[in-house]
Chains A and B, each alone.
Chain A
Amino acid sequence: MSGHNHMKLSFASRSENEAFARITVAAFVTQLDPTMEQLDEIKTVVSEAVTNAIIHGYNGATDGVVNVEAEIDGDTVLISISDQGRGIEDLELARQPLFTSRPELERSGMGFTIMENFMDEFDVVSSPTGGTSLKMKKRIESKKALFN
């Protein structure tokens, strides 16, 4: 498949929606004919970002809104995930492997490391008033292209 396609989800900051979000994005991305491994990576990344929005952005409150957008541009998928939560004070520190502000919740500080590892491009913007917004890109080489 080539060309352009896009989708948008907006949902309550409830943990039930973590599975909903990752499954929906994965289903959208299947039109690029990804491998199982690539799909697993995309599911994991969406799960990390949405979980961060719920736990850290909204501090567990269920009346926040999480936005997920996915866009297909040729063989590349762009995923944007944002919240209007409290934001990240020190982005450098937050992105360090094993850094977590919530060890008491058994967080291990691996979310950003996983996202950066599984995607080709990764960008975060955050502010205390505007919340947090992630933009990520991944190229999906089609299996068909590999076999032909």
Chain B
Amino acid sequence: MTRFSSPPLCRIMSIQTTLLLVLSEGRNGSAIRRIGDDTTTVSAESLLSVNPAQQAVHALKGKGKLGMSLQVELEQHRNVLVVRLRGELDHHTADIVRFKMEDAILRGRCDHVVLSLKELIFMDSSGLGVILGRYKLVKSRGGKMVVCDTQASVKRLFELSGLFKILSFYETERSALASLEVVS
């Protein structure tokens, strides 16, 4: 029996879809505006590794090359900023999330934020801190911040910390966006 379950194919498919979406932004008109991303670093190989030692090597290699093992992708849908986090959110990688989100919220014309966490495979209390901090910022500007697509381990931390009661959670990005369309 393998100790690490390999991610379902649909997970890899969804990355390709996202990349396609990013690549085809021009043709989608002005409804979707990409602000910035680091998506090029996602390799199917690292997602498919089933062996823990191999996985460790991939995680560490990723760090060496990029200086971080977290990717932040920002996309704007009208007045909503969609933030997709991929990889591992800890004390080391929290700064980049804080910086990128803060910059996009303060500069962009977004009222609300959707935090999309489908590919976030690790988070600790540093992640809770940075998310709570951005939630306060959005709220102080009269907006809403919602979370979608969380993995079980990440969701558990939200529950343990009580953040689950403060933020609204949705199954998919689509339903999260739909909930905000009503608000705005």
A residues whose Cβ falls under 8 Å from a Cβ of B: 15-16, 18-20, 22-24, 26-27, 30, 33-34, 36-37, 39-40, 43-44, 47-48, 51, 54-55, 105-108, 110-111, 113-114, 117, 143
Contacts and interface: CB of A to CB of B under 8 A. Distances in A.
A30 B52 contact: yes
B37 interface: no
Contact of A19 (B63, B125, B160, B161): B63
B125 A114 contact: yes
A144 B67 CA distance: 38
Query: Which of A15, A16, A108 counts the most B-chain CB atoms under 10 A from its CB?
Result: A108
Interface residues of B, number: 32
Interface in B135-175: 152-153, 157, 160-161
Contacts of B110: none
A38 to B, nearest CB: 10
Contacts of A24: 56
Given A47-B124, A114-B157, A36 B4 contact: yes
Given A26-B52, A30-B3, A33-B3, A106 B91 contact: no
Contacts of A39: 3
Contacts, number: 87
B125 to A, nearest CB: 4
Contact of A110 (B69, B153, B160): B160
Interface in B116-139: 122, 124-126, 128-130, 132-133
A109 B46 CA distance: 33
Nearest to A43: B122
19 contacts: A20-B63, A22-B122, A23-B55, A36-B4, A39-B3, A40-B122, A43-B122, A44-B124, A44-B157, A47-B90, A51-B90, A51-B125, A107-B125, A107-B129, A108-B125, A108-B128, A108-B129, A108-B132, A113-B160
A34 B4 CA distance: 10
A82 B26 CA distance: 52
Given A15-B91, A16-B63, A110 B128 contact: yes
Contact of A18 (B55, B60, B92, B98): B92
Contacts of B122: 22, 40, 43-44, 47
A106 B133 contact: yes
Nearest to A47: B124
B70 to A, nearest CB: 10
B52 A19 contact: no
B8 to A, nearest CB: 14
Nearest to A115: B125
A62 to B, nearest CB: 12
B88 interface: yes
